[in-house]
Amino acid sequence: MIHTIDTIIVGGGQGGLATSYYLKQQGREHLVLEQSDQAGSAWRDGRWDSFTLVTPNWAFRLPGAEYTGDQPDGFLNRDEVVDIFSGYADKFGLPLRTHARVTAVEANPAGSFLVRTGDMTYQARNVVMATGLFQTPKVPTFAERIPGSITQLHSSAYRNPKQLPEGGVLVVGSSQSGCQIAQEIHQSGRQVYLCVSGAGRIPRHYRGKDIMEWARLLGISERTVDTLPSPKAKFAANPHDVMHRLAERTGAQAFVMPVPFVANTAEDREVLLGQRGISDVFALAGRSDLMFVGIGTAEREASLVATGMIEPSEIDEVKRDGGVGELLAHFFDDKGRPVETALSERILALPRDQLKGRRIVAVAGGKVKVQAIKSVLESRYLSGLITDECTARALVEQSRLDDAAGAAKRRANGGSSNA
Ligand SMILES: Cc1cc2nc3c(=O)[nH]c(=O)nc-3n(C[C@H](O)[C@H](O)[C@H](O)COP(=O)(O)OP(=O)(O)OC[C@H]3O[C@@H](n4cnc5c(N)ncnc54)[C@H](O)[C@@H]3O)c2cc1C
């Protein structure tokens, strides 16, 4: 049986509940479907015992449940946040259905959507996807190579220092989770190493005010997409990105496309490319007269795999078909010939025919990249390469070896035809 409802909200976190709150105020029929047993479960299931928010209490603004306590500059802890979320739907009489994991949303020829859960199908005129972006752990593939004798935990599974076996601890990642966890483990008396990277940092306090207070005073946290100077600005690069810095130095504008490099399916690719904003940014890329690009490998350590964009089995397939180097998600073999696999039709990048004859400069280096760089150089798509001296020497040496091997093969072939 199909239940008809005007609006379905998928996900009972902050986004879903706030949307429900306002729809209820407007008297609009809707239903929130939440996969777990309570609203806001991400705060309960994915956080450690001593977790506290990094945003001050005054910034907690779930509508109707804004912080009104006597510590506006304090930081709510995990259990306090969980309590607010768990009682929220009842407090405002919001229509929340828990244990309802949405497994599919399909366009209906009648112009509405079919939303399926394990036991129900709903027909809705509007669907709000509020399933969150932050709750999927990303573990780099190199973690597989750490011996099984070393306990490995993702921060979402970490609860407290007692959970860890004896000995020192390496915390990988130095943003909110890494720093809070490293501090706690250090305070428990363990030897702790915190592995840092180029993650952007802002000071907690500036001229006597919390940084979030400055963001509020400057109106940064109030900005909505419609108040940006251009719709494309919502894709403007993060000021900490290397790309942004490069743009600053060259006087160019930097944009980030909030789409995966590789879509889940060819159909998803079409849907994503059809979005305004994304097609605008693609058009900009298509018109650019100088492109700086990276070069990837066809190994399991490739960033496409490490960032979860493609599966290890997919990069294995590329490698099996001869793939060695990658440029803008296009793979090439050791002679620079394109390698097409099932991945090719899911790539969200400029097609190869739009890359020919362009000014494309690759920035890549390192021993692990030598074969990949060589393959992309052989493809003749590049007009320049910026690399380090060791990589440049290794490339020259590799070319010399390949030439010698080619000459030997030709001699061998010539010899056998003469015989
Ligand atoms: C470690 C960490 C610390 C953070 N600290 C802060 C902080 O201090 N301050 C701050 O403001 N923000 C913080 N955030 C960010 C904050 O968690 C998110 O901004 C917020 O949770 C986003 O709310 P949301 O509703 O979009 O998504 P979520 O809170 O992720 O909610 C999504 C909901 O959708 C449900 N769901 C997912 N898929 C389905 C499905 N198929 N069917 C049905 N239901 C589904 C999930 O169970 C979940 O309940 C932190 C995030 C992390 C990971």
According to the model, what pLDDT value does residue 327 have? 94
Q: Which helix (H) or strand (E) holds 361?
A: strand 360-363
According to the model, what pLDDT value does residue 303 have? 81
According to the model, what pLDDT value does residue 417 have? 41
Q: Identify which of 10, 14, 211 to mutate to test ligand 1's pocket (most ligand atoms within 8 A of the CB).
A: 14
Q: Which helix (H) or strand (E) holds 296?
A: strand 296-297
According to the model, what pLDDT value does residue 374 have? 96
Measure the CA angle with vertex 289, ends 283 and 293; round to 5°: 85
Phi-psi region of 219 (alpha: psi -120 to 50; beta: other; left: phi over 0): left
Q: State the distance from the centre of ligand 1 to the C-alpha of 332, rounded, in angstroms.
A: 39
According to the model, what pLDDT value does residue 34 have? 97
According to the model, what pLDDT value does residue 418 have? 40
Which residue's alpha carbon is at the smallest distance from atom 11 of ligand 1? 55
According to the model, what pLDDT value does residue 277 have? 74
Q: What does the alpha-carbon distance between residue 329 and residue 311 come to, in Å, rounded to a whole number?
A: 14
Specify the DSSP class assigned to residue 188: T
Domains and CATH numbers, the chain: 2-129 (3.50.50.60), 136-222 (3.50.50), 257-387 (3.40.50.1360)
According to the model, what pLDDT value does residue 198 have? 65
- pLDDT-derived band at 107, boundaries 50, 70, 90: confident
pTM of the prediction? 0.67
- Ligand 1 pocket by C-beta < 6 Å: which residues? 10-16, 33-36, 41-42, 53-55, 101-102, 130-132, 134-135, 176-177
pLDDT at residue 229 is higher than 70: no
Lowest mean pLDDT among 120-124, 224-228, 292-296: 224-228
Measure the CA angle with vertex 330, ends 286 and 384; round to 5°: 65
- pLDDT-derived band at 419, boundaries 50, 70, 90: very low
Between 247 and 93, name the one with better pLDDT: 93
According to the model, what pLDDT value does residue 12 have? 97
Q: What number is the average pLDDT over the span 36-49?
A: 94
pLDDT at residue 200 is higher than 70: no
Residues forming a β-bridge with 123:
4, 114
Model confidence pLDDT, tens digit, residues 337-363:
999 998 888 888 888 998 988 999 999
Lowest mean pLDDT among 6-10, 122-126, 287-291, 297-301: 287-291
Model confidence pLDDT, tens digit, residues 303-340:
888 777 788 999 999 999 999 999 998 999 999 999 99
Task: Report the percent of the chain where pLDDT is more than 70.
Answer: 94
- The ligand 1 atom at the shortest distance from the C-alpha of residue 103 is 41
Model confidence pLDDT, tens digit, residues 56-74:
999 999 999 999 999 999 9
Model confidence pLDDT, tens digit, residues 138-195:
887 778 889 999 999 999 999 999 999 999 999 998 888 999 999 999 999 999 999 9
pLDDT at residue 31 is higher than 80: yes
Radius of gyration of the chain (CA): 26
